[in-house]
Structure formats: structure tokens, C-alpha cells
Amino acid sequence: MAVISGDGVFSHVFLGAVDTALSATFYDAALGALGIRNLGPFGHGWILYGREKPAFIIARPGDGEAPSSNGVTIGFAAATTAEVDAFHAAGLANGGTDEGAPGPRSHLTGAYAAYLRDPAGNKVCSYTFTDGN
């Protein structure tokens, strides 16, 4: 089975949130555990995240409607299982809800992941891959 790689398919990911300050608290903690940092606010109240350049954006939807993400999951790469664990713990401690505790995933050999819902209801996860043992 193929292993998912982080070869940068997307230019960025945008998730809508009504309360961007609450979402920022969640993502500052959860993504901080993965070495992804808050790069600060941008025009229109956008909050940008990345390692070196903006790649993940939290903001109120441009059309003014409530955000909806049913059926969408955003996955963040982790270097180790400890980072996945820290992502999950930090997210729970900062307004997130559990959607799948950290642990091995049987659908991909060596997959180790954790799932959360952010305060706006968006589903996010963190994955790393072990040697499969």
C-alpha cells in the first residue's frame, strides 16, 4: 500500500469560523504541538498558520454565511507519534472535542493518528507513519 507523503499538493487550506479568536486559541495550541505557528492576522480578520509561509487560514466565510464542513477533514502531518498525542491533548485542552483518540489506524500500514473537532465544528486530524510494527 502506498504511503501518503507531504509533497505539498495544496497552496493553502481555508476553514471558516464564526468566532475566530476561539478558533485561534485552539489552533495555536494544537498546531503549535506540530511546530506550525500562528503567523498573525491578515486583512479581513484572517488568521494565518504555517511553518515558513501561510498554508492554513482561519476566517469568517467571505459570503457572511455560517461555515459548514460536514464531510471534510483536514490532516496535519506530524513527525512522531508523540507529536500526534500532543496535538490531540492540546486541542482538547483548548476547546476541541474528541473525534478519535491517538493510536494506530488499521486502514494504512504504520498509520498513527488522532482526530478532533475544532470549536467551529471543523474536523481535523494529525497523522504520522511508523515502521508498521
pLDDT digits over 2-28, tens only?
344 455 667 789 898 989 999 999 999
Whether 2 maps to a domain, the answer reads: no
Determine how β-strand 123-129 pairs with β-strand 46-50.
unpaired
User: What pTM does this model have?
Assistant: 0.83
Alpha-carbon distance of 58 to 45, in angstroms, equals 9
Task: Give the total number of structural domains in the chain.
Answer: 1
CB 119 within 8 A of CB 17: yes
Q: Containing domain of residue 77, as a range?
A: 13-60+72-129
Alpha-carbon distance of 110 to 124, in angstroms, equals 19
Residue 12 confidence (pLDDT): 84
CATH number at residue 100: 3.10.180.10
Residue 47 phi, psi (nearest 5): -115, 125
